[in-house]
Chains A and B, each alone.
Chain A
């Protein structure tokens, strides 16, 4: 089975979020980049488990610039046979998805795995877009994935519960919590990652449909009102009369 895992970078979850250039750009000063947790913990690890069980290859695919190579090597250290970087700034989900779809179409994969969402832009967009561009079925927010022959059996989150479903490969699947356990790269993996192929390909001509014009930060909360732990009647009354939420 040929598996393509889409990996994006995201700022370390403890990063201080700030903006520069008149609030038009994310301030990368002092920011550490990590592999987007959903892509690493679930999509990549499940891809590797399927390969270990049934053979095949796992390729990592990232739309990004040379600055992302360090993050791609981190992902390679966890496993995967090789990586491809499509050399462009992924500022628009449509643009990003069309790049991945073009690459995937010309290389033929049985499974294209993405994370549930990127934790910086939280769009949950790229997976569904790849599927439509390739005219493939898409299972969104899968929490379990097994493959028998050319049939995938999945569990996926739906409003208020989960559904069990089946789909014929090839298919695109976005991976959420529950699908696999996080793997910590070992020394051998880190050494091997240095020499694994990381192919850089030129982007296809695609228009961008959206752009982030500016950013701002939420207003600071006013001071917290402390309430006597013995007096929960007071809290209830404040929630009703002052905050008006109950």
Chain B
């Protein structure tokens, strides 16, 4: 048994990178990490603490092009003889893992949320309304793990880092420009999320949502109608036809809790619902409920968080 883990280390090591290395270690056997880009050697070596036996880094690759990465990962599979490849199920893996599956003829389990049990891997299906158990019949397997479904476990010691050349070639997709809003926490990876819906009445009232998010260090999200009418950007839309998230804490203000909205957030560990209507369906999916006006409750909650932080 030998496992290869692909991680994206362009912007340093994300928590999801530590999650996938920990996950790979639980599979048993050797764990080799393949990465590209400019991450420094000591941070790569620290992946050993989470279970990596060795890190291969291909510094000739400086793009996230799926065709290039697929070639690099495939040659690392050949070099290491790995029979399982693990990804974090993020935007980059959604482009690379399917390509690799075809190239290696390796069955892909997309969106795993647990380690295999009796050879079957548990995944989210029906947008989080149910779970499926997937069996892979090919010799080689690919598993891409949903972010925030597995906690990193450190405690080991640093591992070796080796230069690697996977002959990725030149990208056919030319990147002209990259726009990344500064200081925002990407929603799919956020551990805390503050979200609001039509109950907030208009975009001018989002200040109180952002204030609470800022105080908590949370990302912001919204319901679909709010993104559709342009109160908030599309990438904040969560639900069955938006982003599916599984944060530790999801706070929803002025959102009714329609089935399509719940589908994208019911993997959250803890849900807090703020709604003026005690009959709002969202309360059935909530852990903590507040029947009240978001315009009063949100600022009050922000103050309470401030107070809590000052005394801790």
Please report A residues at the B interface, Cβ cutoff 8 Å.
11, 13-14, 17, 19, 37-38, 92-94, 97-98, 119-129, 131-133, 137-141, 143, 153, 157-168, 177-178, 207-218, 221, 224-230, 232-233, 235-240, 243, 245-246
Contact = CB atoms under 8 A, between A and B. Distances in A.
Contacts of A211: 134-135, 137
A158 to B, nearest CB: 6
A243 B250 CA distance: 12
Interface in B90-109: 90-92, 94-103, 105-109
Contact of A157 (B91, B137, B173): B91
A189 B117 CA distance: 49
A233 B241 contact: no
Given A129-B99, A177-B234, A215-B125, A210 B301 contact: no
A47 B181 CA distance: 30
B101 to A, nearest CB: 6
Given A128-B99, A131-B99, A224-B273, A210 B136 contact: yes
A17 B266 CA distance: 14
B53 to A, nearest CB: 27
A245 B103 CA distance: 41
Contact of B125 (A121, A160, A233): A121
Q: Chain A at the B interface: mostly helix, strand, loop or mixed?
A: mixed
Interface string B239-258: 01110100011000000000
B305 interface: yes
How big is chain B's contact interface, by range?
A: 35 or more
Interface in B239-298: 240-242, 244, 248-249, 259-260, 263, 266, 269-270, 272-273, 283-293, 296-297
Interface in B35-52: none
Contacts of A159: 8, 90-92, 186, 188-189
Interface of B: 8, 64, 66-67, 70, 90-92, 94-103, 105-111, 120, 124-138, 172-181, 184, 186, 188-189, 191-192, 216, 227, 234-235, 237, 240-242, 244, 248-249, 259-260, 263, 266, 269-270, 272-273, 283-293, 296-297, 300-301, 303-305, 307-308
A166 B174 contact: yes
Contacts of A139: 173
B187 to A, nearest CB: 9
Nearest to B98: A128
B304 A122 contact: no
Given A37-B241, A158-B178, A211-B135, A94 B172 contact: no
A168 to B, nearest CB: 7
Contacts of A166: 173-174, 176
Contact of A210 (B70, B134, B175, B291): B134
A214 to B, nearest CB: 5
Contact of A238 (B241, B283, B288, B296): B288
Nearest to A92: B107
A7 to B, nearest CB: 16
B112 to A, nearest CB: 11
A141 B92 CA distance: 10
Contact of B176 (A93, A121, A164): A164
A224 B177 CA distance: 46
